[in-house]
Structure 1
Amino acid sequence: MWDWFINFLTMVLEGLHGVSGDWGLAVIILTLIIRLILTPLQTKSVKSTANMQIMQPKIAEIQEKYADDPVRMQEEQMKLYSEASFNPLMGCLPLFLQMPIFFALFTVVKNVPVDASFFGILPSISDSVAGVLAASGWAAAAPYIIFDLLFGVLTFVPMLMNTQMQGDQRMQSITMGAVMSIMMLWFGWSCPAAVLLYYVTSSLWQVAQQQLVTNKVMEKARKEAEEAAKNKPVEVNVVRKEKKPRPHKKN
């Protein structure tokens, strides 16, 4: 099954190269096609994340209330998810679907010509920063290093752009993003340039989508939640005083 997927992806990339005339551009076009196909799913993922953020106070209340009863806590959380039509896995699904393509590119680039380039900027999309640096020195490796830096920076930017989180939660997200960015820089140092092209293009799409779509969806979901809260009737527990019999005067 994996070999079939590798062969299929190689065939698609060769076809895109035949149309575009450049192997690096073919990788970029492939990335854009994949992101375009995943856009409806990504929109659902954003709505799911928005619902999750809106439900956080209620989830925290359930966790506090049933801290000594994990089974009941789980039941109440699942009930809340069901009422809100929320699927916790939906937020991660677009990423999971891209992972096979991301890792398949490591093998696919071995099937393209050695001189498969990106408009001469990257002389070989199958080479890595480490490989070019060892073989030809810093000057030849400079374009590869730039793409590796973009690889790391664009891991961090979406988390930095996330204005939905506030306070300590936002700081934790930024810290985690910075750590991931450093890890990606290290990982990208030995990645084929084709993988860097795929990730950089995909991340730029994500940044644009977050700016143009994600924030608007989040804001709309928040307004809908606030409107629902306004229209929800307030429940008041009224405790009636017990009517005591009047004392009768003795004759």
Structure 2
Amino acid sequence: MWEWFTNFLTMVLAGIQGIVGDWGLAVIILTFIIRLILTPLMNHSTKSTARMQVMQPKLQEIQERYADDPTRQSEEMRKAYADMHFNPIGGCLPIFLQMPIFFGLFSVIKQVPADASFFGILPSIAKSCADMVALGDWVAAAPYILFDVLFGVLTFIPMVLNNFAAQDSAQKSQTMTMGVVMSIMMLWFGWSVPSAVLLYYVTSSTWQVIQQKLITSKVMEKARADAEAEAANRPVEVDVVRREKKPRPHKKD
């Protein structure tokens, strides 16, 4: 199955290259096609995130109220998700769908010509930063290093944009710390991967940042407003505990 997928991806990439005449540009166009296909799922993921933000106070209340009863807590959490039509997996689906393509490029890049370039900026999209630095030609290695830096920066920017929507200061601090750590990890990872993978990720992340600024924020605002209106119209549930009837005391003779 995996071999079929990588062969199909190679065929598509080669077909695009045959039209545009450049392998690096073919990777960029392939990325655009994939992001266009995933746009409806990304919008659905955004709506799920907005609903999750609206649900957060209720979920915290459930966790505190039933802290000593894990079974009841799980039951109430499932009920809250069902009431708000929220699917926790829905928010992660676009990422899961991109992962095979991201890792498939490692196999695809082995099947392209050794001199497959990106308009001469990257003489070989099969080589990595580490490969170019090892050659000792820092001028030729500079564009590869630049793409690796962009790889790290574009990992950090979406987290910063998401951080603006966070209300809790502790959550903001945690997100920023996580963003810095992830960026450093991506810089380290990107140093040794083929530049075609960097080109794919940089293009995909640039698309995500633009989409987040122009489309995602509007979709999230509308989804949050709809979720808040839906929650406000839902009747408040009150747990009623009936008192146990005790026998009336009788007068002694």
Q: CA RMSD in A?
A: 1.7
Counterpart-to-counterpart distance in 1, 2:79 and 2:98: 30
Q: Distance in 2 between matches of 1:93 and 1:228?
A: 25
Alignment partner of 1:20 is 2:20: yes
SS at match of 1:117: coil
Query: Which residue is equivalent to 1:84?
Result: 84
Equivalents in 2 of 1:236, 1:126: separation in Å? 62
Provide the secondary structure at the position in 2 that maps to 1:121: coil
Matching residue of 2:166: 165
* AA in 1 matched with 2:216: T
Counterparts of 2:229 and 2:204 in 1: how far apart (Å)?
Answer: 35
Taking the aligned partners of 2:128 and 2:175, their CA distance within structure 1 comes to: 30
Q: Which has the larger radius of gyration?
A: 1
The within-5 A match list for 1:52-201 is 52-162=52-162, 163-166=164-167, 167-201=169-203
Which of structure 1's runs of 4+ aligned residues deviate more than 2 A?
Answer: 221-237
Question: Structure 1 unaligned runs (5+)?
Answer: 238-251
Indicate yes or no: 2:220 matched with 1:213: no
1:169-220 CA-to-partner distances (Å, cap 9, x unmatched) read 1111111011000000000000100000000000001101111111112211
Report the Cα offset of residue 138 of structure 1.
1.6
Residues of 1 paired with 2:237 and 2:143: CA distance? 64
Shift of 1:236: 10
**Residues 233 and 91 of structure 1: is their aligned pair in 2 closer, same or farther, counting only changes over 3 Å?**
closer
Amino acid at match of 1:164: A
The Cα shift of 1:60 comes to 0.1
Q: Identity of paired residues, percent?
A: 69
- Aligned partner of residue 135 in structure 2, secondary structure: helix
Distance 1:24 1:181 in 2: 24
TM-aligned CA deviation for residue 221 of structure 1: 2.3
Report SS of the residue matched to 2:222: helix
Distance in structure 2 (CA, Å) of the matches to 1:109 and 1:191:
11
After superposition, the C-alpha distances for 1:24-81 in whole angstroms (9 at most, x for unaligned) are 0000000110010011011101001110111000000000011011111111111111
TM-superposition CA deviations, 1:135-172 (whole Å, max 9, x none)? 14322110000000000000000011122113111111
Farther off after superposition, 170-179 or 23-32: 170-179
> 2:40 is matched with which residue?
40
Give the secondary structure class of the aligned counterpart of 1:91.
coil
| Whole-angstrom distance in 2 between the partners of 1:185 and 1:121 | 20
Equivalent residue pairs, number? 237
Q: Give, in angstroms, the shift of residue 232 of structure 1.
A: 5.8
Counterpart CA distance in 2 for 1:174 and 1:105 is 30
Closer/same/farther in 2, CA of residues 150 and 235 from structure 1, 3 Å limit? closer
Aligned to 1:242: none
Show structure 2 runs of 5+ residues with no match: 240-253
**1:72-107 Cα deviation digits (max 9, x unpaired):** 111111111111110000111100000011001011
* TM-score, normalised with respect to structure 1: 0.90
Q: Please name the residue that 2:245 is paired with.
A: none
Helix, strand or coil for the counterpart of 2:165? coil
